[in-house]
Structure 1
Amino acid sequence: MVGLGREAGDEIGGYVVRKQLGRGGSGAVYLVEDGGGQLAALKLVDAASDPVAGERLGREVRALQSLRHPAVPRVLDAEVDGDETFVVSEYIPGLSLFDHVQKHGPLAGADLADLAERIASALEAAHAAGVVHRDVTPSNVMMGPAGPVLIDFGLAHREEDARLTRDGLVSGTAGYVAPEVIDGAEPGPIADRWSWAATVAYAMTGDAPFGSGTGAISRTLDAKVDLPDVPGAPALKAALSRDIGGRPTPAEVVAALRGATEVLGARTPEPTLVAPVAGTAVMPLSQQDQWEGDGASGSDESEWPGDEGDAHDEHGLDDEAFDDDEYDGQDEYDEDDGRPVGPWDALDAGLVPKPASGRPLMLGAWALAIAAASALAPFIVFLVLVGAAIVARGVHRRAASLAAGRARRGMRKGDAVVQTIGMPWHLLRGAVEVLPSVLLAAVIGFGIGAFVWWLVSSALIASATPAGQVWGHAGAVGLGMLAAAATMWVGPWSEGTRDGARRLAYGLAPTRGLAVAWVVVAVVLLGVVTVAVYTQADPWWWPMPQGPGQ
């Protein structure tokens, strides 16, 4: 970035540069010294070339000036309107949490609980001030002499701030962005707490809980995380689930880490704040930025993580990889509301938010229609259901791959086209992944259908008249198919199928009017099946030569 290069001895706004601490796409961070010999961290951006970066810096200043907490660095000075746009913050010597764990190993026991408690306290103080951090990661936690400190509020925003990213796009670090935010939800305190839990999980294990690179987004969406069998691990795992209402609060997780009995009841997701927990200092440690491009990894030399920039590519991550500040969006957005023009663009992960519900009325209506249609051709309808599950899983994989690619390389115009061309591979992978769920669904569906069929044939739940037997047997087959569909929806190994089905439903019906139209079609199909059963039409049992008892 032009205008950011400074050498030792240069002066910025009355501060003398001692060395560069970090550099990235939106600015550079320097260790500086004021006139009284006090060291500080100065973050400089070239607002003339990048007005968005200048606005971000102003937002960071507003966020930090509103906070008073020992685990949040103090703002000492700022210039956001002049030729040189910068903010001067309290200098925190030490290593980042990432580098500390890499050098000294994972935290455990009281040390882990103290870290979790202090950073949670800083977050709750920020939330109480109306500030959302949006990028809580191991690289943004400094293990300072007085205890951990949460830094780099460059992505933070106050509630009254306008967003600096296009609606539906995500700013943050891959693997530490909450799944609901990837799905399009507005970043808020709940998402910050999820990122906090992911950061604590890193401190507990020494590994990013959802990995890095292309697999991080997919594993986040699948909610796949492995934690050791230690106190607090079940509570931490629950805090990393996709079920917002079932996540324990940070205070509960901290209590579990300290050995308290864990009671993880369901909760109603609300953006309310828990009482800030007391900050507890941990042992004096030293730290360096996780993704520092020009420092020696693991060095004890004091460093301050700034904007990390291209150095992230070594790890397949980028702290602003989902950001769209420079994406022109030509030919893909409607100028009136910024939404994609084509319905299938709604499937592009990180491109447009999809409803969290994913058209539930439409999906429910079609589940009933498919179950009813099975009374006329059970095996054919089951194959159609399996095919739909494979397509849904492929759509899920396409969305995850698209988001992961953008996390690694940033937004590119042809990303959606490339992933669409790769759909055969996504479908093949989806077919393999959905197989266990399909086999389980077949067993459960056949078992329930056969049992109800026997009850009908025995005249235990239906009359022995021809009409009673026809309606009873049709209901038995339909009930078995409905059980199979439910197993594929909520049973084991079904998370990706559900996500893909919701995306598929939204792609087929991006507007409420189209969703209603699809419901009407399902109702018409139900009517056709009802008429066919009423007229006692013979079911098609292919590939079986004839039906049971014939």
Structure 2
Amino acid sequence: MAGLQREVGDIVGGYRVLGRLGSGGSGSVYKVADQGGHQAALKLVDARQDEVAAARLEREVRALQSLRHPAVPHILDAELDEDETFVVFELVPGETLFDHVQRHGPLAGDALAAFADRTASALEAVHAAGVVHRDVTPSNVMMGPDGPVLIDFGLAHRSDDARLTREGLVSGTPGYVAPEVIDGAEPGTQADRWSWAATVAFAMTGHGPFGSGSGAIGRTLEDDVTLPEVPGAPALRAALGRDVAGRPGMRDVVAALRGATVVMPALPPTAVAPTGLMAEGWEDPDATAVLPSGEQRVPAVPGDDADDAGQHWVERLPWEEEGDEDRTDLDHLDHLDEEGEACPYAPRRRLLLALAALVVVAAAPLAPTLSFLVMAGVAILARGVWRRAVAIQAAEAKRGRRRTSDTVVQTIGLPWHTLRAAAEAVPAILTSAALGIGAGAGAWWLVSSGNVIGASADAQYYGHAAALALGAAVAVIAMAYGPFMSGTRDGAHRMAAAVSPTGGLRAAWTLVALTAILVAAIGVYVQLAPWWWPLPDLALG
């Protein structure tokens, strides 16, 4: 790799290096300018020591040079025979899909369908030219001003992706390598389509459908994928299945994302399936299709297009434009805090945070002071996590993406971020305490007067417990939406997402929260006296 390193101002094949765009195990990509000042992307490839890689590079460059597609960067120049082996592409302005989703959140509705449509068209053109991409991932799709552009055609891999390599296999990104390739098959067009489906799933959800790292390999082989219940998700889930013959084609997935088709559940082998995809409420007794599971095949409607696997799905009548109420809008956009500091998108965990708030409210009648202190501590830690994310974002904006090093440095600096967060959270903590104490004390006084709930011992206990719970609820709301707390809410989502990356863990944490609420309710039911620690016990009437 040392021979591939170039500095700003260096000349490579007549091109002047303006900066580095990325690098990987078999090459580096630079922003360059030719003698006329026109900018381009130059990929310096280390293929001289590998005859197979050199031959593949030459074959693919020849094929792509004649390709013209708006979502595929045009090859402007190439040098394959000299000491310096390089390829020059059109420079695509913008950011990768990975960065775009981090900044602006997942795609949805028409935006997601348009993304899938354009990238599918690009991949079809590449395959028609006889080229297999081998590495369709969110980092290899640029979100340009005119739409997404597919880049990096197996010529060099990007350094910001973890790689997996097994004996007899090409390299790839965990979670975006088709299961048959992991099992030992040679990467081909079907594997590219599977990787495309995984990339579309990332665009839909904001995270890899099978996670990341080595754990993604096992989940890919286990077909362990969870997608939100939105239009097109069942078709996309089928496209990520292990059975190659049972996967729908890319065009079928795009149609489903547009709401033009729905996936029917697989029927037993003895059943007769009228259609594989059909409009809700629309039936054609003469229409037949292949089930997504591949368990039963019946002749498709004549004239339907089929992909290479022979898959046929039936499209329903065109969707009415006014059917937009079934589509999902973007609701997670890049936000600014009160000080104008941007932070990349974080997965939302609204249910878990709502349950955590209910735990605080339920515990307040038994341990009011301790509940507030724990809530304040969690808020400070959440703001520290948000501060860390902001620092990583600022480092990437200044020096480019260096995911591992920036993350490690800012994680080491988490105590400093937390200390700064504690100072920033003081106004919200004071506001929360004042409003919570005020609401709780007022309700407590009303109960003690005997005019609201009665003067019996039981009525007074439960009334005072309700007063403490009310004060805690007001304090929670004030803490979440108090001064300068938008970043704290973002950090809370990040913390919740970190401890619940899978559906199973989210279910486990939900069960823990519900158990804690139940235990607190039982404590109130048996009339346990409030524990005011660390304050001395208060004798309130």
Q: TM-score, normalised by structure 1?
A: 0.48
Which of the pair has the greater relative contact order for Cα pairs under 8 Å at 6+ separation?
1
